[in-house]
């Protein structure tokens, strides 16, 4: 695709505290990739470890891709076009080494197949962003991919929850988990 | 085969600990759909022959958690909770928002049927096909927030241990009860996500009677296969687009309408319905938005509207209180109805009610009733264990709510709900207090009055509803009008969120049903045949009632007495409802739904619908 090559690589900026918990991003992601509404097979998963503290958890495309490094079968690669982590389903043995390597423990196993799920940026046209924007929640936004420290966004659900709880509930947030 | 169903239902017997899968025939699913419709069918088939003797709080009652074929597809996730209601002794389809229905269907089940009664507190944990009855003695007694935190942690740890390679496990979806349900308070809810509740019906008490603290479910499969995925996606987009256009509704939630109800339409309960009007600047959602809302949009699975908000009191004596919006109903019932006109007091009381697992509407109704008796000197400070429920005193109402949830002292009396409490207080005091009980057939009337006739319910709407005072299911002519319970029963059976149907043509909902299930369904067929059957079943069980109370339609198909008093204030001052007109409308409604002049479903009408056994059972009432 000549046109796609010319396109600047993108990154999905995220403003987690505004997340409504609508999960339309999961619906869109799973419909796009699996042709089903399938929350557990969505590459973007909304965590709600406490009600009101919903946020989308998905790949941050770290600048040094620790998951790709960690894969013993080289099932993971970086798309030269989009910068997304690509999973070769045939090579992936479902060992979980990439999950361990990910600072945010973001990759997760496909619920029925022995392969890992990681956001592929929908080949450059992210469905989750489309629906999040459509609903004006604007948690997810497309920005050009620059040489930034995106790895800082790879955080575990617990870490994110802890901080958001205090941001949203104030002092009370410390006690709710 | 019908598309759109997981196909199986889980049946759990808490007495024997037996767990099995049950299925319903295609005919049953086509006729009764799911949720409320299927609940009526299952309850009738299993308990109908001895309905009057079944104690809603005994082991014989069934507790149903039923999704429908549209759950998860139609934007906005909900599930229907039902059983024999400890409020009206009939059947209420009580729905609650959240991810539970979706998670359950992804686990392979369209519903859970709970029978029997556990010996010790338990909770159910469902992970796809693995179903366990687990010990809940450590969480028995916990409030809403503690319960959710505990189960989220425990279930995630179990999942992590059992499936170590999966990666991070998300939380399961949880339905639970608070202390009020544990203590079999008739105004207790089955709740989700701290502040979401299946309130009408009082099923929290049924859950408590069964010693079932919670049901947690994690499903990892996809939603069931649909008949026409392309059509489903197109219709989903139509529903979303419609919702996105509704700025005020999205921004303010149901509170947006509430402002109109209180100030313009004059149909909001104020001080136990002594008034139905307040000045337009005194209490409205505009005061909540920037003062207490910390999240402007909050919603459940797939919802484009996200009409909920998250409220936190940041300063003052109620600092730290957390709840949702509150929505219009609770702004009214835990606000104006108790003379509370500040967002802080309202949020605080709602958070107390949430934590205790009480219903904001039913409890606000009984608290208002108690406060009016106090105002009139019928109940004294001594009667109320030293509490003085003066209008506007949020702390006093919170104290009384705690008494109710734990059935302490006077709380035990009020825990019976407004109608039963009124009977007892009348007896104790030798005064008829029924004029202050704003309820229909044991169910406190929702926060939409009829006296001004500017709001949506008609003068006969509550009197003839098969769900009593439930404002989400009112009788209405013509039967195919959006607000009619014949239409609303589809939403509760689908199971979908009514608020996401606002502004879309009704046919779209039936097109949606067809795209999911593959079954053609017209509005006419639904209203005249399928909904009609469900309504007749509900009516039959409501009239059979028992064991503690039975309704006589000649007396109880009526409005609360208060609605016959003239409005004392506001733009419709002096306006009231005339009994003769109510009776006339009632007769027309009876005729339309096939009830005889005494309100009993007619023999030939039932037979035409194929409900011969219902006809036979009603013989004794004729
Ligand atoms: S679509 Fe946006 S607002 Fe909705 S859950 Fe996803 S990230 Fe949150
Ligand atoms: S966020 Fe995790 S999955 Fe994504 S690139 Fe970084 S290490 Fe890999
Ligand atoms: S960009 Fe695409 S693959 Fe990645 S999370 Fe969003 S929808 Fe899923």
Query: What is the CATH classification number for the domain harbouring B296?
Result: 1.10.569.10
Measured between CB atoms, does B519 come within 8 Å of chain A?
no
Quick one: how far is CA B242 from the chain centroid? 25
User: What separation in angstroms does the CA of B119 have from each of B17, B58, B137, B472?
Assistant: 10, 13, 11, 35
Model pLDDT, residue A6: 54
The fold for domain A3-165 equals: Alpha-Beta Plaits (3.30.70)
Q: How many CB pairs under 8 A join A and B?
A: 133
DSSP-based three-state secondary structure for B620: helix
Mean pLDDT of B520-532: 97
Residues B95 and B209 in one domain: yes
* 3-state percent helix, strand, coil for chain A, nearest multiple of 5: 35, 15, 50
Residues B281 and B340 in one domain: yes
Residues B305 and B377 in one domain: yes
User: Which residue in chain A has the smallest CA separation from B315?
Assistant: A170
Substitution target from A21, A87, A106, A170 for chain B, most B beta carbons within 10 A: A21
How far away, in angstroms, is B380 Cα from ligand 2 center? 66
Q: Percentage of residues in chain A with pLDDT exceeding 90?
A: 89
Q: How confident is the model at residue A7 (pLDDT cuts 50, 70, 90)?
A: low
Residues B182 and B284 in one domain: no
pLDDT at A1 over 60: no
Residue listed under structure tokens 């009124």: B422
Residues B375 and B317 in one domain: yes
Sorted by where each begins, the domain ranges of chain A are 3-165
> CA B565, CA B578: separation in Å to the nearest integer?
9
Substitution target from A15, A20, A44, A172 for chain B, most B beta carbons within 10 A: A20
Residue B110 lies in a domain: yes
> CA B516, CA B231: separation in Å to the nearest integer?
8
Model pLDDT, residue A2: 45
Q: How confident is the model at residue A3 (pLDDT cuts 50, 70, 90)?
A: very low
Q: Which of B117-131, B230-244, B283-297 has the lowest mean pLDDT?
A: B283-297
Nearest to A135 among B149, B244, B301 (CB): B244
Residue B86 C-alpha, separation from nearest chain A C-alpha, in angstroms: 29
Mean pLDDT of B414-430: 98
pLDDT at B272 over 70: yes
Residues B265 and B194 in one domain: no
Model pLDDT, residue A4: 46
Beta-sheet pairing, B130-135 with A85-87: unpaired
Residues B169 and B107 in one domain: yes
Counting ligands in written order, the one closest to the CA of A150 is 2
Measured between CB atoms, does B248 come within 8 Å of chain A?
no
User: What separation in angstroms does the CA of A146 have from each of A8, A46, A61, A84?
Assistant: 10, 26, 11, 13
Residue listed under structure tokens 């796809």: B128
Measured between CB atoms, does B231 come within 8 Å of chain A?
no
Model pLDDT, residue A175: 82
Domain end position, chosen among B420, B444, B468: B444
DSSP-based three-state secondary structure for B492: helix
Residues B274 and B206 in one domain: no
Q: Which residues are paired to B21 by β-bridges?
A: B10
Residue B464 lies in a domain: no
**What lines the ligand 3 site, CB under 6 Å?**
A 28-29, 32, 43-44, 58, 119-122, 126-128
Maximum C-alpha span of chain A: 54
How far away, in angstroms, is B575 Cα from ligand 2 center? 66
Model pLDDT, residue B153: 97
pLDDT in tens, A110-133: 999 999 999 999 999 999 999 999
pLDDT at B59 over 70: yes
Residues B209 and B255 in one domain: no
Model pLDDT, residue B76: 95
pLDDT in tens, A58-112: 999 999 999 999 999 999 999 999 999 999 999 999 999 999 999 999 999 999 9
How far away, in angstroms, is A12 Cα from ligand 3 center? 9
Q: Whose CA is nearest to atom 2 of ligand 2?
A: A102
ipTM tops the 0.85 cut: yes
Mean pLDDT of B351-366: 98
Residue B320 lies in a domain: yes
Q: Which domain holds residue B119?
A: 9-218
Residues B159 and B15 in one domain: yes
Q: How confident is the model at residue B1 (pLDDT cuts 50, 70, 90)?
A: confident
Phi, psi dihedrals of residue B212, rounded to the nearest 5°: -105, 105
Portion 177-206 of B in contact with A at CB < 8 A: 193-195
Q: Which two tokens stand for residue B123?
A: 């909770």
Residue B310 C-alpha, separation from nearest chain A C-alpha, in angstroms: 7
Q: Whose CA is nearest to atom 6 of ligand 1?
A: A25
Domain end position, chosen among B403, B419, B444: B444
Q: Which two tokens stand for residue B89?
A: 């002794």
Residue B503 lies in a domain: no
How far away, in angstroms, is A132 Cα from ligand 1 center? 5
How far away, in angstroms, is B98 Cα from ligand 3 center? 23
pLDDT at B206 over 50: yes
> CA B260, CA B280: separation in Å to the nearest integer?
8
> CA B558, CA B582: separation in Å to the nearest integer?
8
Residues B98 and B151 in one domain: yes
Model pLDDT, residue A83: 94
pLDDT in tens, B76-119: 999 999 999 999 999 999 999 999 999 999 999 999 999 999 99
Output the average pLDDT for chain B: 97
Q: How many domains does chain B have?
A: 2
Residues B431 and B379 in one domain: yes
Atom of ligand 2 nearest to the CA of A61: 5
Q: Which of A2-6, B162-166, B410-414, B453-457 has the lowest mean pLDDT?
A: A2-6
User: Which residue in chain A has the smallest CA separation from B71?
Assistant: A37
Contact list in B for residue A48 (CB cut-off 8 A) is 99, 170-171, 193
* Interchain pair B102, A168: CB under 8 A: no
The number of CA neighbours under 13 Å toward the Cβ of A24 is 32
Measured between CB atoms, does B92 come within 8 Å of chain A?
no
Domain end position, chosen among B395, B413, B444: B444
Q: Which two tokens stand for residue B619?
A: 């013989």
Residue B376 C-alpha, separation from nearest chain A C-alpha, in angstroms: 40
Q: Give the global pTM.
A: 0.97
**B283, B341 Cβ separation under 8 angstroms:** yes
Mean pLDDT of B337-343: 97
Model pLDDT, residue A63: 95
Mean pLDDT of B525-549: 98
pLDDT in tens, B512-524: 999 999 999 999 9
Q: Is A53 in the pocket of ligand 1 (CB under 6 A)?
A: no
* Interchain pair B229, A35: CB under 8 A: yes
Substitution target from A19, A24, A35, A37 for chain B, most B beta carbons within 10 A: A37
Spell out where B23-77 has E strands.
Answer: 63-66
Mean pLDDT of B550-554: 97
Q: How confident is the model at residue B418 (pLDDT cuts 50, 70, 90)?
A: very high
Model pLDDT, residue B506: 85
> CA B512, CA B222: separation in Å to the nearest integer?
19
Counting ligands in written order, the one closest to the CA of A118 is 2
Q: Is A121 in the pocket of ligand 2 (CB under 6 A)?
A: no
Measured between CB atoms, does B167 come within 8 Å of chain A?
yes
């Amino acid at each position: 695709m000549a046109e796609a090559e010319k396109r600047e690589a993108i990154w999905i900026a995220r403003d987690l505290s505004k997340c409504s918990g609508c999960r339309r991003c999961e619906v869109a992601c799973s419909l796009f990739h699996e042709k089903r509404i399938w929350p557990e097979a969505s590459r973007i998963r909304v965590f709600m470890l406490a009600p009101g503290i919903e946020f989308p958890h998905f790949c941050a495309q770290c600048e040094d891709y620790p998951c790709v490094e960690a894969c013993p079968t080289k099932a993971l690669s970086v798309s030269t076009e989009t910068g997304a982590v690509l999973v070769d389903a045939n090579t992936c043995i479902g060992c979980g080494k990439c999950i361990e390597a990910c600072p945010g423990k973001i990759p997760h196993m496909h619920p029925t197949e022995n392969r890992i799920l990681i956001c592929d940026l929908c080949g450059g046209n992210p469905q989750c962003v489309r629906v999040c924007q459509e609903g004006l929640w604007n948690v997810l936004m497309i920005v050009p991919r620059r040489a930034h420290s995106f790895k800082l966004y790879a955080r575990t659900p617990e870490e994110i929850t802890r901080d958001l709880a205090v941001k949203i509930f104030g002092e009370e947030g410390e006690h709710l988990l | 085969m019908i598309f759109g169903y997981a196909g199986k239902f889980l049946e759990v017997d808490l007495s024997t600990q037996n767990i099995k899968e049950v299925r319903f025939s295609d005919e049953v699913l086509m006729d009764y759909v799911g949720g409320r419709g299927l609940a009526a069918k299952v309850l009738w088939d299993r308990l109908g022959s001895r309905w009057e003797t079944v104690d809603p709080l005994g082991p014989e009652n069934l507790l149903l958690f039923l999704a429908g074929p549209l759950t998860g597809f139609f934007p906005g996730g909900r599930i229907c909770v039902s059983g024999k209601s400890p409020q009206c002794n009939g059947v209420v389809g009580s729905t609650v928002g959240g991810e539970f229905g979706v998670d359950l269907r992804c686990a392979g089940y369209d519903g859970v049927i709970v029978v029997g009664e556990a010996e010790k507190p338990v909770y159910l944990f469902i992970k796809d096909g693995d179903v366990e009855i687990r010990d809940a003695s450590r969480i028995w007694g916990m409030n809403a927030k503690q319960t959710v935190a505990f189960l989220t942690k425990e279930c995630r740890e179990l999942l992590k241990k059992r499936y170590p390679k999966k990666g991070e496990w998300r939380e399961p979806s949880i339905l639970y009860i608070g202390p009020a349900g544990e203590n079999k308070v008739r105004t207790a809810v089955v709740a989700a996500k701290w502040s979401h509740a299946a309130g009408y019906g009082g099923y929290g008490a049924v859950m408590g009677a069964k010693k079932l603290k919670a049901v947690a479910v994690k499903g990892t499969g996809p939603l069931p296969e649909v008949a026409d995925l392309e059509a489903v996606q197109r219709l989903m987009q139509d529903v979303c687009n419609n919702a996105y256009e509704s700025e005020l509704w999205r921004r303010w939630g149901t509170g947006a309408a509430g402002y109109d109800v209180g100030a313009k339409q004059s149909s909001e309960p104020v001080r136990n319905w002594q008034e139905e009007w307040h000045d337009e600047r005194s209490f409205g959602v505009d005061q909540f938005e920037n003062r207490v809302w910390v999240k402007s949009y909050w919603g459940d699975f797939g919802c484009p509207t996200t009409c909920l908000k998250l409220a936190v009191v940041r300063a003052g004596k109620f600092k730290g209180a957390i709840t949702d919006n509150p929505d219009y109903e609770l702004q009214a019932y835990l606000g104006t109805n108790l003379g509370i006109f500040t967002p802080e007091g309202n949020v605080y009381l709602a958070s107390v009610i949430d934590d205790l697992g009480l219903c904001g509407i039913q409890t606000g109704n009984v608290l208002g009733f108690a406060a009016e008796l106090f105002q009139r000197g019928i109940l004294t400070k001594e009667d109320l264990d030293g509490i003085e429920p003066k209008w506007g005193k949020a702390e006093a109402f919170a104290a009384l709510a705690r008494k109710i949830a734990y059935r302490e002292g006077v709380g035990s009396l009020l825990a019976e709900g407004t109608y039963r409490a009124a009977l007892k207080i009348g007896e104790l005091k030798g005064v008829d207090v029924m004029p202050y009980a704003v309820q229909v057939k044991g169910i406190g009337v929702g926060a939409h009055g009829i006296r001004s006739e500017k709001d949506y319910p008609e003068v006969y709407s509550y009197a003839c509803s098969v769900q009593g005072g439930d404002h989400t299911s009112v009788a209405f002519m013509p039967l195919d009008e959006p607000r009619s319970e014949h239409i609303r029963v589809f939403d509760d059976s689908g199971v979908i969120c009514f608020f996401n149907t606002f502004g879309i043509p009704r046919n779209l909902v039936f097109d949606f049903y067809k795209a999911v299930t593959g079954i053609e369904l017209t509005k006419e067929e639904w209203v005249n045949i399928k909904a009609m059957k469900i309504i007749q079943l509900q009516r039959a069980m409501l009239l059979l009632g028992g064991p503690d109370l039975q309704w006589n339609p000649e007396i109880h198909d009526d409005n609360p007495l208060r609605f016959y008093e003239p409005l004392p204030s506001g733009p419709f001052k002096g306006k009231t409802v005339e009994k003769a007109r109510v009776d006339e409308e009632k007769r027309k409604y009876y005729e339309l739904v096939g009830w005889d002049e005494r309100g009993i479903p007619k023999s030939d009408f039932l037979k035409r619908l194929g409900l011969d056994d219902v006809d036979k059972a009603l013989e004794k009432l004729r």
